[in-house]
Amino acid sequence: MTNPELYPLGLRISGRKVVVIGAGKIGTRRALGLLNSGADVTVISPLASPEVAALARGGKLNWVAREYQAGDLAEAWLVHTATGVVEVDAAVTAEADAQRTLVVNAAEAEKSSAWVPSVGRFDGLTVATFGGGDPRRGIALRDSIISKLLDGTLPIDAVRGARTEGRVALVGGGPGADDLVTVRGQRLLNEADVVVTDRLGPRHLLSWLRPEVEIIDVGKSPNNHPVPQDEINQILVDQAKLGKKVVRLKGGDPYVLGRGGEELDFCVANGVQVEVVPGITSAISVPALAGIPVTHRGVATSFTVTTGHVPVSEISGGRDHTVVILMGVATLAETAANLAAGVRGPECPIAVIEDGYGSDQRITRSTLGDIDKVAEQVGIKSPAVIVIGDVVTERNKEEE
C-alpha cells in the first residue's frame, strides 16, 4: 500500500507517557524501542514476554497485568496496540483517535494515525525508512543506508558545515588484500583529508580516495628510511593541528611491530585526538594463506611473534612452540643457525612466505639446517613472513 499523504516526523518523547497494548513479540519490540528513546512506558497485557516482565521488575516500565479497558490511554502522548485481536486493536485505535492521541495499530496499518519506520542509528544520526506498507522494503532500504554509513561511502562529513577539530586515526590496513581492511578503517579512509601511508600498507586502497585527499608517502624499505619516525610523528601532529582528519595507514596491525604506540604517544603529548583501528596482522594471516596455522591441536598451543631486524638468538620452547618472524629476511641465515643449535634442532620445519596476498606471493618450505642454502638458491626477498615449528608441515601430514 502506498500513502502519498504520509508526513514523516521525529518524536522527542523522553519522559512522556506512551502506552503499549499487548506484550507479545511486536509489543515487546515496540516497548524496548520506546524505552531506548526515554519514554515513560506503560504496557497493558494479561500476559507478558520475559523481557517485559524483567523490565517491570526492574522498574524500567509499568506493566498492568490485565486486558485493555476504556480509559487506559488517558494522558498518553502515543499509543501502540499489538494484541493480535482485531476488535481490541480497533477499540484502542478509536479511543486514541477520540482523544487526539497518535496511535500505531500493528494489525491494520491503514487505520493507524502513525506508522513506525525501520530505524537505524549511526554516529549521532537516525535513519528512518518507510516501505509504503511493506516493512521488508523499509528494512532493506534502512540496511543499505546504514551499511554505506558504516563503510564511509555516504559523504556525511561533506554537509556538516564548519570543519571539526583535527584528529588522527592509526589504521591497520591488514596484510595487503584490499578487502581485508576493517569496515571502520575503510570508513575513516573515506572521510580522510590526509592519508600518511607505508610501503607495506594496502596501497590499492589509495585509488579509492577522493581526488582532493592529500597522500603523504613515508614508506620504508630495508636499509632505506627516507622519512625517520620522528618526522612521521611530527607530520601527523602538524596535519591534525591544521584541522584535518588524518589517517595513518599501516600494513597489518598498528601495534604489532608497527610503531603505532610511538605515534599515539606523540599525538597525545601534543594534544591531538587519536584513535587506533586494529588491523589483521600479517603474523597470523600470511601463514594462514599458506595453510599454516600458528597453533594446532596436538601440535602447537602457543606462538611468539618477533622482529628479525637483528638475528634471533633464542626463543623459549621447542618445535611445539611456533615462532613467527617479521622483517627477518636479511638475518634469516643467522637466525636459523641460532635456533637450529638449540632444542628445535636442524630438522625443525621452516616456511618463508614472500609478498603475502601480493602478486609475487611465494611459499618456500625447508628446515632450519637447510634454509640458508635454499634461500640463496631461490632468491628469497622481503617482505616475507617466516614461520618456524611443526605447524609448518602439519597440513602436509594431514593430506598424505
CA separation for the pair 354, 363 (Å, rounded): 6
DSSP output for 343-377: TT-TT-EEEEEESTTSTT-EEEEEETTTHHHHHHH
Query: What's the pTM value of the predicted model, to 2 decimals?
Result: 0.67
Joined together, the cell numbers standing for residue 307 give 622482529
Mean pLDDT of the chain: 89
Amino acid at 191: E
pLDDT tens digits, 301-348: 999 999 999 999 989 899 999 999 999 999 999 999 999 999 999 999
pLDDT tens digits, 146-203: 888 877 777 666 444 455 689 999 999 999 888 899 989 988 998 899 999 987 778 7
Contact assessment for residue 116 and residue 20, using Cβ atoms and an 8 Å cutoff: no
pLDDT of the residue at 390: 96
Q: How many Å is the maximal CA-CA distance in the chain? A: 91
Contact assessment for residue 118 and residue 141, using Cβ atoms and an 8 Å cutoff: yes
pLDDT of the residue at 134: 82
pLDDT of the residue at 156: 67
What amino acid positions are annotated as catalytic residues?
Answer: 198, 220
pLDDT tens digits, 289-298: 989 999 999 9
Residues in the chain with pLDDT < 70? 1-5, 155-164, 220-225, 395-400
pLDDT of the residue at 225: 60
CA separation for the pair 217, 196 (Å, rounded): 6
Residues, the chain, total? 400
